Amino acid sequence: MTSRFQHFLHQIRSRPTVRELLRNSAFFSSGQLYQLALSALLNILLARRLGPDLMGIYIATQSMVGLVMVFANLGIEVPFKREASRDKNKFPIYYGSALAIRLTISAPVTFIVSIIAGTILGIGSVPVVTLMVLLMVTISFGALTKAAYQALNHFDIAAKLTIFAQTVYVGITALILWLSPDLMIVLASMALLQAGILSVNLGVLWRMGYHFRLLWDFQLWKRMIREALPVMLANSGEYANLRSDSIIIAAVLGSFFAGIYGVAYSFYLMMAIIVYLPSVSAFPTLARYSASHDMRAYRKFVNKLGLAIVGYSVAIAIVLFFLAPILIPLLYGQEYQASLDPLKILVFALPFVALNRLMVQSLNASGLQKWTFIATATGAFFNIGVNLLLIPRFGIMAAAATTLATELLVWLVASLGLLTTSKRTPVVHPGT
Residue 172, exposed/middle/buried by CB under 10 A (0-12, 13-18, 19+)? Answer: middle
Question: pLDDT tens digits, residue range 349-371?
Answer: 888 888 888 887 777 777 676 77
Residue-level pLDDT at 8: 47
* Res. 345: pLDDT tops 50: yes
- Count of Cβ atoms closer than 10 Å to residue 311 Cβ: 11
Residue-level pLDDT at 14: 52
Residue-level pLDDT at 15: 56
Question: pLDDT tens digits, residue range 216-262?
Answer: 888 888 888 888 777 777 667 667 777 788 888 888 888 888 888 88
List all residues 6 or more positions away from 73 whose beta carbon is below 8 Å from its beta carbon. 102, 106, 140, 232, 235
* Res. 372: pLDDT tops 80: no
The answer to whether the beta carbons of residues 11 and 18 sit under 8 Å apart is yes
Report the residue count for the chain: 432
Question: pLDDT tens digits, residue range 121-135?
Answer: 888 889 999 999 999
* Res. 427: pLDDT tops 80: no
Residue 240, exposed/middle/buried by CB under 10 A (0-12, 13-18, 19+)? Answer: buried
SS3 content of the chain, % helix, strand, coil (to 5): 90, 0, 10
pTM of the model: 0.72
- How big is the CA angle at 64 (ends 63 and 67), to the nearest 5 degrees? 85
* Res. 143: pLDDT tops 80: yes
Residue-level pLDDT at 351: 86
Residue-level pLDDT at 5: 45
Q: b/e map of 71-82 (b: 16 or more CB within 10 Å)?
A: bbbbbbbbbbbb
Residue-level pLDDT at 23: 63
pLDDT, mean over the chain: 80
Residue-level pLDDT at 9: 46
More confident residue, 11 or 110: 110
Which of 363, 353, 354, 95 has its CA nearest to residue 234?
363
Residue-level pLDDT at 12: 47
